[in-house]
Structure 1
Amino acid sequence: MHPDLTRLRRRLRAACDEAGVPADDRARLVLAVTLLAEPAFAAGEPVDVETTAGDRRLAVSLRPARPVRPDRRAGLPLPPNAAEDGTLTWHLTGGRPDGSAGLGADDDEEATRAEMLALIARADALTQDQRDLKHELAETNSGVLAMYVELEQRDEQLRHAHAAIFRELEDALRPPPPAVPGLELGVHYSPTDQDSPTGGDLYDWFVLPGGQVHVTLVDAVGHGVTSTRHALTVTHAIRILALEGHPLPDLIARASRTLAAIEPELMATVLLARVDPATGRTRLASGGHPEPALVTADGDARLLPADVVGRGVGFPDPGSPSLVEVDLAPGDTLLLYTDGLVESRKNIDEGQARLLPLARALRTRPAGVLPRELVSRMHDVVQYADDTVVIALRRS
């Protein structure tokens, strides 16, 4: 090997050891300078190298005889900074923090071997660091995945809990049908929002002291919890008034007057039905509600007279101007519903025209399942979604 190259490397090593440059940095510096200087020495070109050490810092400058391309500089084990005149400079920090001794600089082959071992050790350390990082990332990813799984499980638990609460709330807001000999009752509620059990469409039914079955169907203006509260207020007011013995024709107007001071913003349509199970005698009072449908056992289906419609609670001049009376024969079914049933296609007249043939076709279904099947058929196309309640009363 050319002696000048050997002396150059010895000089670089001595400067590194004097400044306390770590072993792997010294190895990369010596190898980088060797790769640049060796071709110049072989070609007989001068190689000018200067070292400046101070305050545990080392600067090494090399002035090559010909410019070094940027890609070659970038490919060196320790890339230098390039000045405008082509001078290449390396800046290294000395002071080995571990207090280890230098690699030595007397024997070139021994020093080169030691430098190669330092580079290998550095590469091994980097490889181990990479493995540790991958392991940490894998553990982190595993932890994140476990967290997502736990969150999904908790979310599922919350969904089940919400569903249970909704069912309990529905049971509280929508009482089951009373058991009345001679009368079959069924109801189905379809909310606008399937994730919410509340809305402005509520019903109430109970047996009066004289044995008659009283049914209240309310559709409060608005949506959500406020409309639910309004509808619940109306059903409770009418239940109290009915149990106190107030006449059926007066219930809507009296409830409206009673609630005006309590809920001044409340507005709701109301339909009342009073059925005598023994005789089938049925009386209806309506405050702004869609006309009920009567389906006879022999297949006749019709809407009850329009003059049953009055004004609801909270409206001007509330109450039902007259009652509609009908005798239910055995097998006859009376359908009470809110406007969500017949307005799914935005046209209530079209909806009521579709309702009658469907009610006629489904008249043999049990009263307990008839409302659900009717809603399913009527809501085959939904252009306008609204809460829907359908009640079936059948004399058995």
Structure 2
Amino acid sequence: MNKSLAASVSPALYSTKANARIFTLTSTEHNIEVADWKIDSTQLGIIDTYFTIEQKTLHGGKQEGSKVIILTSPNGLTITLSPTRGMSIMNVTGKEMRFGWDSPVKEVVNPAFINLESRNGAGWLEGFNEMMVRCGFEWAGHPGIENGEMRTLHGKAGNTPASEVEIEISEIAPYEIKVRGLIKESTFKKADLQTIAELSYIPDTYSFTIHDHLTNHADYPRDYQIMYHSNFSKPLLEKDAQFIAPIKEISPFNDYAQKGLQDWATYLEPTKNFDEMVFNIVPYSDADGYTLAALHNKDANKGVSIEFNINELPYLTLWKNTDTEKQGYVTGIEPGTNYAYTTSIEREQGRIRQIKPGQTIQFKIRYSALMNREAVDTVKETVTNIQGNQNITSIQTPIAEE
């Protein structure tokens, strides 16, 4: 694949940025589907750093036909994402660092093998093992019936193969890499939402950015919801690991979470029969709307931070699932436009947004690996500065009941 081929891709996925190479891996518009593909920095004439980008097609079981794209920076991070699964990030690793978790689901499940309406609308769980999966965009949250239609768990985006996929590599330092995919949620008489989902990464660094553009291609206003379900386990998650964020308001999702409200910000070791606890959070931000949430280990010398803007993503969900390791020992930090209640509850409580015909709305999130105590301390200081003397409102009872 070369730049001239990429130039024929629809303008939504084509960049005219100078000094960049663009490689098209998938295009439904032009009937392009690359199976296995690989390039490294030396092939691009880059000699002052080294990285590789590879696409693999997986075989066997429920992952038959799934594709993964792997960005490898030996002095930074290795990032694996799947265009088959809505551009979800499967895992991220670095030196003694991992973002992700060990789900009982071991394969990169092809959506062709998932029935989202099974298990009373929770069929989504049969493919759930990502470090970051987009919950949305037509709807998100728990399954339920609204207007006679099933709203399945966490929407369709994470189980929608990308219709267009391209990789852009800057040929000038710092050699930023962008992986873009187009996710279409188009249904006759219903939504026509299309999202350009982009991951950008600079080799040799310990941060990456998600930058999504959601466009309503219909002639009518449409609802939208999005939660960036970001999941972490060992080595960050352990007994007495800590969640931190500047918090305006917190409430338990349900009666079970109410029991854990007193020590909601700390974690247990893997604990048999621990059901999931979920907390609804309204974060504070700086004057420009920027805020962050973070998880660090017990010794506060390793962690992850997630930066976002409350004008785009005003709510934050904390999911604590400290069950046994085989069952899935994991916590989720989930910036979003809403909480995880059913669509009917979110609508009743005013957290469902609308996008106008032709309108484009963007969401930007930055993930950073905190590799040492100094990095963790810097994030703590930022949280403290945003919180300032502002009070935390702790609502003792759930704000809704499903």
Fold match (TM-score > 0.5) = no
Using structure 2 for the length normalisation, give the TM-score.
0.23
- Max radius of gyration: which structure? 1
Using structure 1 for the length normalisation, give the TM-score.
0.23
User: Higher relative contact order at CA 8 Å, sep ≥6: structure 1 or structure 2?
Assistant: 2
Q: Quick check: which one's strand share is greater?
A: 2
Q: Quick check: which one's helix share is greater?
A: 1
